[in-house]
């Protein structure tokens, strides 16, 4: 995986540190925010999950190599995201392109490497306001992958919608 290049040109395009987002032109852009609940405990759990692949793993992915307990992902690290869709197993090579952590915002953005089914970037952003409301925002930029994946792009978009719903629900049980 170390020989693979990022498969897109707008690295950082999901702007995980920015409250407002202006996606780059000519990309399939997605942004959605859901309220998770309130409180410091929820903030701590949700922000840690965002920074340590917890949203992905709670949505059915495996991350290889797995992070040790209590460790967060770091910019520049590379991983395999392992998706299982029925009998099909897909290995997605990615690189963490940004992490962001303050008292009010925690985010992880990763970009696709050559060989990924799509080309682009995805960010998981957890934020809280002055009233201790905790929100999860998902941002993504997507284009068809290269090679044999290009023909499967319409099917991949369906799977992407299913996983987005899972991402947006991944932390909700913590707030109930």
φ, ψ at 86 (rounded to 5°): 60, -130
User: How many whole angstroms separate alpha carbon 140 and alpha carbon 117?
Assistant: 14
* pLDDT tier at 153, thresholds 50, 70, 90: confident
**CATH architecture, domain defined by 28-175:** 2-Layer Sandwich (3.30)
State CA 82 to chain mean position distance: 13
Instruction: Specify the pTM.
Output: 0.90
* pLDDT tier at 19, thresholds 50, 70, 90: very high
Provide the residue ranges of all domains of the chain, joining segments of one domain with +.
28-175
Task: Please compute Rg for the chain using Cα positions.
Answer: 15
Name residues whose C-beta falls within 8 Å of residue 59's C-beta, 6 or more positions apart in sequence: 163, 166, 167, 170
Q: Give buried/exposed letters for 98-123 (b at 16+ CB in 10 A, else e).
A: bbbbeeebbbbbbbbbeebbbbbbbb
Which residue did the predictor score with more confidence, 175 or 74? 74
pLDDT over 50 (residue 176): no
The DSSP code sequence of 150-170 is GGGHHHHHHHHHHHHHHHHHT
Identify any residues that bridge with 78 across adjacent strands, giving them in sequence order: 95
The pLDDT tens digits for 75-122 are 999 999 998 877 888 899 999 999 999 999 999 999 999 988 899 999
pLDDT over 60 (residue 175): no
Q: What's the pLDDT score for residue 89?
A: 86
């Amino acid at each position: 995986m170390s020989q693979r290049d990022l498969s897109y040109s707008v690295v950082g395009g999901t702007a995980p540190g920015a409250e407002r987002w202006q996606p780059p032109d000519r990309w399939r852009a997605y942004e959605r925010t859901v309220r998770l609940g309130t409180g410091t405990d929820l903030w701590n759990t949700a922000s840690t999950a965002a920074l340590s692949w917890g949203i992905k793993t709670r949505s059915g992915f495996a991350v290889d190599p797995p992070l040790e307990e209590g460790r967060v992902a770091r910019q520049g690290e590379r991983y395999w995201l392992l998706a299982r869709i029925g009998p099909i197993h897909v290995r997605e090579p990615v690189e963490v392109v940004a992490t962001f952590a303050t008292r009010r915002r925690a985010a992880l953005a990763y970009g696709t490497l050559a060989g990924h089914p799509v080309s682009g970037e995805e960010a998981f952003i957890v934020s809280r306001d002055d009233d201790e409301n905790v929100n999860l925002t998902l941002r993504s930029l997507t284009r068809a992958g290269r090679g044999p994946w290009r023909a499967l792009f319409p099917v991949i978009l369906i799977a992407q919608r299913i996983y987005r719903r899972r991402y947006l629900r991944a932390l909700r049980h913590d707030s109930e």
